[in-house]
Chains A and B, each alone.
Chain A
Amino acid sequence: MTSATQPTANSDERVKEISSFRNALIRPELGGIVGTIAVFTFFLLFAFDSGMFNSQGIMNWSQISAQFMIIAVGACLLMIAGEFDLSVGSMIGFAGMLIAIFSVTLGWPVWLAIIVTFVIAVSIGALNGFIVVRTGLPSFIVTLAFLFILRGFAIYLPQTIERKTIIGGVSDVAEGDWLAAMFGGKIFTGFFQWMGDNGIIAVFERGTRKGQPVVEGLPMLIVWAIGLVIVGHIILTKTKFGNWIFAAGGDSEAARNSGVPVNKVKILMFMFTAFCATVLAVCQVMEFGSAGADRGLLKEFEAIIAVVIGGALLTGGYGSVIGAALGALIFGVVQQGLFFAGVESSLFRVFLGLILLGAVILNTYIRRIITGER
């Protein structure tokens, strides 16, 4: 990045020279990396013997982290595009409820219920985006409205149809369904059995499952999380569309002047956020075998916090999917780590608030360095 072609360049620059070390530091992921190291160090020191780092423990916090990760990817791309979606949590409850109603109450095949739910959810995301770009209202307000609308339906529908707020029995109807397996199944079971056989991970000592590993495979939830992170990261950093996402959030007028279809980009990001929320909803419904009206409560804020810890700017135009994924990992590890360490779980919220504050302050500092300490 030095001026190989222009030897005189530096003499004439207002930009301050910054050392390559500092340059390496001023990345959006810095907060996430520092936080991840800190959190793992802490729990390795204070909760190592609690079972947090055996195969079951690892699977436990990995799954929680994966849940955060799935919605954080959507929230991250949307925030970089300059918008928020506060309806993510309600969407998780609403979409899960739709699947249960379609498959259990109406008796549709599960694959059809899942596909129709995705179509409805993504359409609602598009509606969110359409209202935002058309009216010019802050997405904060528009999606706050949908936070209530969708949560209201998630409670109203099962109460009216089934006279209860939890619809169970999804596991039975999902048995053998090809699409359900893509959300609720596990892969690499053979590999995990092999690890169990060779003493790498623990196996059951007695009972009907004697000899089987305590962790039977990699849940699809985690596969989705990793997949979405990789796809999101590549789109954002390697493609034309990723450039447009940054531009739309950074300066929508300048982006329009340059020929970027800003409205289209924003609406697509709202749709993608809804898609991510639905992925998590389907995974949860398949895992629990039921849909609950209160699923996904407060998830929108947790997603946003993970994204901010990951270095994204609330004002848009800056951020990283990898950072957001690290933010989600920090979440999962701390939430479960406090449990393993025997700390009162309500303190998790205290921690959330503190780490959010710390991350925002760190990010602001990093931005000052980037912009030449104005």
Chain B
Amino acid sequence: MASQIGEKTILRARGVSKHYGGVVALEAVDLDLREGEVLAVVGDNGAGKSTLIKALTGAIPKTSGTIEMDGQEVQINSPTDAKAAGIETVYQDLALVNELSISKNMFLGREIVRDDILGRLFGTLDFGQMDSEIRALFQKLDIRIADIYREAEAFSGGQRQAVALAKTVMFGKRIAILDEPTAALGVRESKMAMDLVRSLKDHGLSVIMITHNMQHVMNYCDRVMVLRLGRLAAVRDVKDVDGDTLVGLITGATEDKAA
């Protein structure tokens, strides 16, 4: 697996800090995401995982720090900026509109309109084109949704998560940020979702994933960064670390200065 990861760093963040008045939520955190890797972000509650993700995607303004993509500094001050740069955040519950069918959800906000006068004037949709693209992609990603015309809420959490991930692939995003993708899923569903995360790299995506599940870190991720009390506690290759060490790093029982 590791051999597939390019040496190229796609996203580089330096000295990212977030202060709320006198409270330090995040202090000078560096992050490197290599092309095609799955990078886990772990840490106890309040360690700053979510703050880091929000600062990276412009959901909250960062107090200081810089972000580079492909070696070029980029200004990400809003979620729209992040999307434009090719960074998609997939939230557990906020990725799909439950009332819309799977097929409408997949293209929501980026619908394909008919390539004729009706499409240009009124935005009439090209259902055939969209549906066939969805089916092809689902097959490629091995996502099993029998009826793409049913409302999203009729499907299980794992299936919805899979659809949300497929959306990032479909729109050619380069970086997917997943906020606890398996938090609400059962065991079998979690495996399904994580297998999908694992396969995202084959479709050109690099992944940053917040998780509490050490098993998932060990089985599905390439590298892991540990946050503690708003600071970067460690960055390790997953193959060089075991679960106990990770827990030690998270709680502070083990100190790591290599980071």
**Are A and B genuine complex partners?**
yes
Which A residues are closer than 8 A to B by beta carbons? 1-3, 5-6, 8-10, 12-15, 234-235, 238-241, 243-244, 246-247, 249-251, 253-255, 257-260, 313, 316-318, 370-372
| Given known A1-B147, A6-B138, A240-B125, contact A371–B97 (CB-CB < 8 A) | no
How far apart are the CA atoms of A234 and B124 in the complex, in Å? 9
Specify which of A1, A14, A371 is in contact with B156 (CB 8 Å cutoff). A14
Which B residues are closer than 8 A to A by beta carbons? 79, 83, 89, 91, 94-100, 104-105, 107-111, 113, 122-125, 135, 138-139, 144-151, 153-156, 159, 167
How far apart are the CA atoms of A247 and B83 in the complex, in Å? 19
| Given known A5-B139, A9-B146, A259-B83, contact A247–B108 (CB-CB < 8 A) | yes
| Given known A246-B99, A260-B108, contact A238–B125 (CB-CB < 8 A) | yes
| Given known A14-B159, A243-B104, contact A259–B144 (CB-CB < 8 A) | no
| Given known A371-B151, A371-B153, A372-B154, contact A318–B99 (CB-CB < 8 A) | yes
A13, B144: Cβ atoms under 8 Å? yes
Chain A residues with CB below 8 A from B122, complex form: 234-235, 239
A6, B125: Cβ atoms under 8 Å? no
B150 (CB) vs chain A CBs: closest residue:
A15
How far apart are the CA atoms of A259 and B80 in the complex, in Å? 8
A14, B155: Cβ atoms under 8 Å? yes
Which of A1, A234, A257 has the most chain B CB within a 10 Å cutoff? A257
Specify which of A5, A258, A370, A372 is in contact with B108 (CB 8 Å cutoff). A258
How far apart are the CA atoms of A1 and B167 in the complex, in Å? 20
A257, B99: Cβ atoms under 8 Å? no
| Given known A14-B156, A243-B111, A372-B154, contact A9–B99 (CB-CB < 8 A) | no
A17 to chain B, nearest CB (A): 9
How far apart are the CA atoms of A115 and B159 in the complex, in Å? 51
A317, B123: Cβ atoms under 8 Å? no
Chain A residues with CB below 8 A from B159, complex form: 14
A240, B113: Cβ atoms under 8 Å? yes
Chain A residues with CB below 8 A from B124, complex form: 234, 238-240
A2 to chain B, nearest CB (A): 7
B149, A1: Cβ atoms under 8 Å? yes
Chain A residues with CB below 8 A from B99, complex form: 246-247, 249-251, 313, 316-318
B93 to chain A, nearest CB (A): 8
B97, A250: Cβ atoms under 8 Å? yes
| Selected A-B contacts with CB under 8 Å, 5 pairs | A1-B147, A1-B148, A15-B154, A240-B111, A254-B95
How far apart are the CA atoms of A354 and B165 in the complex, in Å? 46
How far apart are the CA atoms of A58 and B105 in the complex, in Å? 43
B96 (CB) vs chain A CBs: closest residue:
A254
| Given known A6-B146, A15-B146, contact A240–B123 (CB-CB < 8 A) | yes
A235 (CB) vs chain B CBs: closest residue:
B122
How far apart are the CA atoms of A6 and B145 in the complex, in Å? 8
B149 (CB) vs chain A CBs: closest residue:
A1
A9, B144: Cβ atoms under 8 Å? yes
How far apart are the CA atoms of A44 and B89 in the complex, in Å? 58
Chain B residues with CB below 8 A from A253, complex form: 94
B179 to chain A, nearest CB (A): 12
A5, B98: Cβ atoms under 8 Å? no
B140 to chain A, nearest CB (A): 11
Listed from nearest, the 5 A-B pairs whose CB atoms lie closest are: A259-B109, A250-B99, A317-B99, A240-B123, A258-B109
B108, A255: Cβ atoms under 8 Å? yes
| Given known A15-B155, A254-B96, contact A243–B146 (CB-CB < 8 A) | no
A237 to chain B, nearest CB (A): 9
How far apart are the CA atoms of A2 and B145 in the complex, in Å? 10
B135, A5: Cβ atoms under 8 Å? yes
A3, B146: Cβ atoms under 8 Å? yes
Chain B residues with CB below 8 A from A12, complex form: 144
A246, B151: Cβ atoms under 8 Å? no
Specify which of B91, B100, B145, B167 is in contact with A246 (CB 8 Å cutoff). B100
Specify which of A3, A9, A241, A318 is in contact with B123 (CB 8 Å cutoff). A241
How far apart are the CA atoms of A247 and B89 in the complex, in Å? 18
A316 (CB) vs chain B CBs: closest residue:
B99
How far apart are the CA atoms of A334 and B145 in the complex, in Å? 44
A239, B150: Cβ atoms under 8 Å? no
How far apart are the CA atoms of A153 and B233 in the complex, in Å? 66
A246 (CB) vs chain B CBs: closest residue:
B100
Other A-B pairs, 4, CB within 8 Å; known A8-B144, A15-B156, A259-B110 = A3-B147, A251-B97, A254-B96, A258-B97
